A and B are shown apart, each in its own frame.
Chain A
Amino acid sequence: MSNHINLEKRRQAIYGWLMLSPAALMLSIFAFYPSGATFFSSLFSKHTRRRPSEFIGIENYNDLFADPTFWLVVKNNLFYAAITIPVSIIIALSMALWANSKIPARGFVRTAYFTPTVLPMIAAANLWLFFYTPGLGVLDQIGSLFGLPSVNWLGQPETALWAIIFVTIWKEAGFFMIFYLAALQTIPEDYKEAADIEGTSRWTYTRRIVLPLLMPTTLFILVNAMINSVKLIDHLFILTKGGPSDASKLILYYIWEMAFAFFDAPHAAAMTILILLVLCIVAAIQFIYLDRRTHYQ
């Protein structure tokens, strides 16, 4: 009997590893090995025709920390995150509360909120170009109705990053909305009825009952929004290319530029490692909170 169990165990182990190995191989080639290789190459100098690349320790990191553009880009990205994350969460929540309440044209409202989600970021950027173009753009034309002067939204350092931020919020809010919408639909009707009997105002009901019940969803969305604030940069290629004078440049775009426009792979690698560290922190936050969630359930 124990022999039989042993055999079954062995069979499962063989099958398990056989079935896992294709995916494990792919993940090694395209995630784990590149992560290690990125770290490795961030410790070497740039390979040029005159000088072969040599080990220079943390020199590349020191260069980055001494580079004012790097700090500007970090600051831009922090600002980008600090605005897009809370604003898109708040808008997503309002959208969900509205799309879940009994209002006319609810189908249209939901579709309108969600549609930007299915567009490519490049297409979204093209759509917004039509809004931002100075003189001809929709925003300028609306402004001129009120006698406001023409603004070059994408061409001046004060507004370029805001223009980028707005497109990101527009793109992701509807996506986050559906998670809130799903969570709202799991809240039992009884709570609302009980609150009504108690004479609770809608605002109090939303704040004291609904929002706490939405907390797990908010955390999930928060993690996604954090990842997006690193990853959503496609529109930069169309709208500003990081300009003017780096005012709207974000880290991932800078990595791309460093590696594929300036051909400086070691510094790009060093920056990649820094981003991976930040993503690790985000991962840690998620794991800690997910753990807590399961404890309560």
Chain B
Amino acid sequence: MSKLSHYVETAGAILLAIIWISPLLFAFWAAFHSTSDAVNFNVTSAWTLDNFRIAWDGAPWLKYFLNTFLLVTIVLIGQFFFTTLAGFAFAKLEFPGKNFVFILVLMQLFILPEVLIVENYAMVSRLGLFDSLFGVGMPYMASAFGIFLMRQSFKSVPIELHEAARIEGCGLLGILWRVYVPLAKPTYLAYALVSVSTHWNNFLWPLIVTNSPDTRPLTVGLSIFGAPENGVDISIISAATMMSVAPLLIAFLVFQRQFVQAFLRSGIK
């Protein structure tokens, strides 16, 4: 009986896995076949790279890739800077008003940047950052979530190391840079993976703030390229989709364990 249920469950698990991965597999298959072969599921039909060629010529993808790459880099550098300093202050320093500010920061966890699109747009325009990668990245830099994460990580550093560095004559910033930051490397890595995949995939805010191919990230470019008004057919959309998810997807498949660990670490607060 238990053997039977084991088989049933195994079958269920694998069936669900196949269903879950099938949209990706279909798109992958369609990307390498002509549209008529793809929609008729001609299993024996020839593989082709034409869809990729047509898709590549249809939009400034290289520019989009570069924009996305620069965007995630800018966001990540900004986040490391702001959250390291603030996280350290919350974790290791005592000063009046700290708890009050910390509650304000926690509140920001729920004031999603996505929701404040109207006023953030006005703010970014006011700062003259409309249609720039800085404009896209800035609202995410002082991430409350990141501050929280760094605070947790710095808190676990033993005070003895801090004291030892101080006796050696290290200033506070020196201690932060030479003791805390190196010890928090796993947290930085986890945060980086989560941040990069979040901002690689972000759409609504970049859609609002960018207005030209020179600043548009991949997701926005892809949505314009695939818009039904453009009448692009399914195989070419699949090729474009595959192209734009490839870097992150391949990175994920290679470093799967690190990705999952990163998401976990960032989730368990």
Contacts and interface: CB of A to CB of B under 8 A. Distances in A.
B76 interface: no
B164 interface: no
Given A13-B95, A119-B24, 12 more contacts: A24-B142, A30-B138, A34-B119, A35-B119, A98-B12, A113-B16, A114-B256, A120-B245, A130-B238, A182-B268, A238-B223, A272-B119
A119 to B, nearest CB: 5
19 contacts: A15-B172, A16-B89, A26-B142, A31-B113, A33-B119, A35-B119, A95-B16, A109-B13, A120-B202, A120-B219, A127-B24, A178-B267, A202-B5, A237-B223, A252-B204, A255-B115, A269-B119, A272-B118, A275-B115
Nearest to A173: B20
Contacts of A64: none
Please classify the interface of chain A as helix (H, G, I), strand (E, B), loop, or mixed, using the class held by over half of its residues: helix
A146 B75 CA distance: 50
A174 interface: yes
A22 B89 contact: no
A79 interface: no
Contacts of B26: 127, 130-131, 138
Given A20-B101, A114-B260, A230 B116 contact: no
B268 A179 contact: yes
A175 B17 CA distance: 14
A115 to B, nearest CB: 6
Nearest to B234: A130
Interface residues of B, number: 93
B118 A126 contact: no
Contact of A12 (B6, B10, B95): B95
Contacts of A15: 89, 93, 95, 172
Contacts of A272: 115-116, 118-119
B222 A122 contact: yes
B21 A127 contact: no
